[in-house]
Amino acid sequence: MLDTTRITHYLPSFSFSFEYNIRFHLQRLHLRAKSAFISLQDMPHYPLRFNQVPPLFCEPFILRGFRSIHQPWSYYLKSLFHKHNETINVWSHLIGILYMGYLLFFYYNKRLNFYENSHSWPFAVSLCTAIIMFICSAFAHLFHSKSEKVHMSCFLIDFIGVSFHGFGSGFLQIYYSAPQWFYEKIEYYYVFILLILGILACFLNCFAQYYYCRPYPPIKRICQFFPCGLLWIYSIIPLCIRLYSSNILSHPALICHLIQIILFLIGATLFGFDLPQRCCPGVFDFIGQGHHLFHLCIYFVTVCQMHGVYWDYEEFQKIIDQRSKPELIFCAGSMLSLLAWDIIIVCFFRRKIHKKYHMH
């Protein structure tokens, strides 16, 4: 027979031991976290002021928050957990990587079945291009302060992301959101046009980065914004047609399309005209400057884009499924073609930039 008295005799000590162990492990975990945080704070003190770094690293109307140059790579990696004028730029797009990865591998994969449903492949391509864009941007803003050469190379890589995002947006919106009559007109060459515009955006951005020196003249931003604007306008033509011919409040997809267009215009305006820091130099160094707001706008633009287009696919699935099925080589091949051209462009200008700085 079971002796319950012996069990109850040991229960109090067992309970106390369990509570003690939990408390002990929590204390150890707290001390380790505190020690790791303190070790990160032992880095050289920054932010630096604009007059303490080379002109290449200075942004208009940003006075503080610059990191030291010529430090070990670990210095810039650890700066991910510190306050400087690039912290928001890095974290906004790190979050974008995680969220787009979740949409690609879990949320939309479950709903669209990327492996078997060939009509969902353009959606998968667009999610991949969004992830590449966020990776390129986060990498550039985290590590560009190491040196002049690294700075230039990092933002050449960033322009690959810009090119990819424009291409992926067009690929997504033209395939799923374009009215059938518009899709039938451009069906055979829309990817070719997207490729040309994506390559042009990468090339002109890299050229402007190489050719113009600080203080940058206004023509530099025109050279960068013009091809990106063309790519963006081409990608949203289907959305504009839908918005013009429909009751916007009749479907959540249309609301998403309108929001993403407005957010992109707001973000581009703030970034292009250095707002709001132009009005209050030094006030928005760490949070709230135009570049930060542009990054946040791009994140929410991408989120609205994905959800809005998914709702379009749900609404027009019967029409879309009647189209000729996209081939894997068509979807993956177009993305890889753009990547190949962008890498060639970046390598070309990177060599020219290294020669330029070597001569100096």
Q: Is 4 helix (H, G, I), strand (E, B) or coil?
A: helix
Structure tokens at 9: 């005799």
For the segment 69-78, what is each residue's pLDDT rounded down to a tens digit? 999 999 999 9
Confidence of residue 45 (pLDDT cuts 50, 70, 90): low
Strand partners, 244: none
CA 94 to chain centre: 7
Q: Model-level pTM?
A: 0.85
d(CA 360, CA 352): 13
Show the tokens assigned to 133: 């864009």
Closest by CA to 309, choosing from 245, 268, 232, 255, is 255
> Percentages helix, strand, coil for the chain, rounded to the nearest 5?
80, 0, 20
Distances in Å between the Cα of 360 and the Cα atoms of 149, 217, 248, 276, 355 are 12, 21, 56, 35, 9
**Residues 25-41 pLDDT 10s:** 677 777 776 665 555 44
DSSP string, 163-186: HHHHHHHHHHHHHHTS-HHHHHHH
Which pLDDT band, with edges at 50, 70 and 90, does 24 fall under? confident
Query: Residue 285, CB half-sphere, CA atoms under 13 Å: how many?
Result: 17
141 is in an annotated binding site: yes
151 vs 163: CA distance, rounded Å: 19
Measure the CA–CA gap between 131 and 99, rounded to whole angstroms.
9
Between 10 and 71, whose confidence is greater? Answer: 71
Is the domain defined by 48-359 classed in CATH 1.20.1070.10? yes
Sign of the C-alpha dihedral computed for residues 212, 217, 219 and 223 taken in this order: positive
Rounded to 10 degrees, the C-alpha dihedral 21/23/27/29 comes to: 70
Q: Where are the extended beta strands (E) located within 44-141?
A: 48-49, 64-66
Q: Phi and psi dihedrals of 308, rounded to 5?
A: -65, -45
How many C-beta neighbours within 10 Å does residue 4 have? 8
Closest among 252, 353, 237 to 310, alpha carbons compared: 252
Round to whole Å and give the CA distance between 267 and 318: 35
Residue type at position 298:
I
| Chain segment 82-141, per-residue pLDDT in tens | 889 999 999 999 999 999 999 999 999 999 999 889 999 999 999 999 999 999 999 999
What is the chain's Cα-based Rg? 25
Nearest C-alpha neighbor of 86 from the set 51, 48, 52, 55: 48
> pLDDT tens digits, residue range 232-256?
999 999 999 999 988 888 889 999 9
At 164 the pLDDT is 95
As a whole number, mean pLDDT of residues 280-308 equals: 95
- According to the annotation, is 295 in a ligand binding site? yes
pLDDT grade, residue 43 (50/70/90)? very low
The answer, yes or no, to whether the previous bond of 47 is cis (omega within 30 of 0) is yes
Give the C-alpha separation, 173 to 32, whole Å: 48
Q: Is 291 annotated as a binding residue?
A: yes
